[in-house]
Amino acid sequence: MFGNASDHSIGFLLVQERKNVALKMTNREVDGASVVALDGRIVLGEESQALRVELKNLVAEGKKKIVLNMDNIKYIDSAGLGILVAAHVCAKAEGASLKLSNLGSKFREVLQITKLFTVFDVYNTEAAAIASFLRLTDEAAAEKPSVTLPGTFERIIQSPDPNTPEKTEISVQGADELYQEIRIENTLTDEHGDEVRLKKGALVEVTVEAAVGATESKLAST
């Protein structure tokens, strides 16, 4: 869970600022990532608690890709750093990822002094942080070994139970002759989100995909 700030904090001045500048947060979606642009101070009190609530809500909403743009942060204290650490830990526990961007040299120095630089994923620009999510998605997809075989829709199999959906029998080319037919529910979803079904004789593709850990080298089994 996101932690609460303690009653005592140490502050780090990042740029010259007017006193009592409130923390402003602007949230937007960019390429599937939730980007929160921060402006002001992250300090003990309302500012750090507002950030805690904002990040907690994003994770609760199922947001898995979160970027904090720190470009306009003028001041942060130890309570603010604690909120960032707690947010990082909570996001990771929920399968989400929190990245920081546009820190500036003084903010980076603060993270190095507090030995938190290695805790966070830090990027020079917002665009670079967002692009890192896209690379992770591509890499995860590429990691899964798969094979795709052509198939043909042979026939519909109706169930005597009206509550049981019809099945479609598909002949898979390249499979063993005795086991080349598979049966699946004849329900697909089109680009509009509507349910459709296959026509007899339709040409299809059957893809078998597995996680890397579920496979082994063919050389190792010989």
Once rounded to an integer, what is the mean pLDDT over residues 109-129? Answer: 89
What tokens appear for 213 in the block? 């850990």
Beta-carbon contacts of residue 11 (< 8 Å; ≥ 6 apart):
43, 75, 76, 77, 78
Q: Can you list the domains of the chain with their CATH numbers?
A: 11-141 (3.30.750.24), 146-214 (no CATH)
Q: Among 16, 13, 73, 64, which residue's Cα sits nearest to residue 39?
A: 73
- Inform me whether the pLDDT recorded for 96 exceeds 60: yes
pLDDT, tens digit, 9 for 90 and up, residues 133-162: 887 655 555 556 777 888 888 888 888 888
Residue 206 confidence (pLDDT): 81
Residue 46 confidence (pLDDT): 85
Residue 218 confidence (pLDDT): 67
Kindly report which listed range (17-26, 102-111, 122-131, 200-209) carries the lowest average pLDDT score.
Answer: 17-26
3-class DSSP state for residue 98? strand
Query: Residue ranges of the alpha helices (H) in the chain?
Result: 46-60, 78-93, 104-113, 126-143
pLDDT, tens digit, 9 for 90 and up, residues 60-71: 999 999 999 999
How, if at all, do strands 203-209 and 195-196 pair? unpaired
Question: What pTM does this model have?
Answer: 0.56
Q: How far apart are CA 6 and CA 142, in angstroms?
A: 44
Choose between 29 and 147: higher pLDDT.
29
Task: Please state at what angle helix 78-93 crosses helix 46-60, rounded to 10 degrees.
Answer: 10
Average pLDDT score, the chain: 81
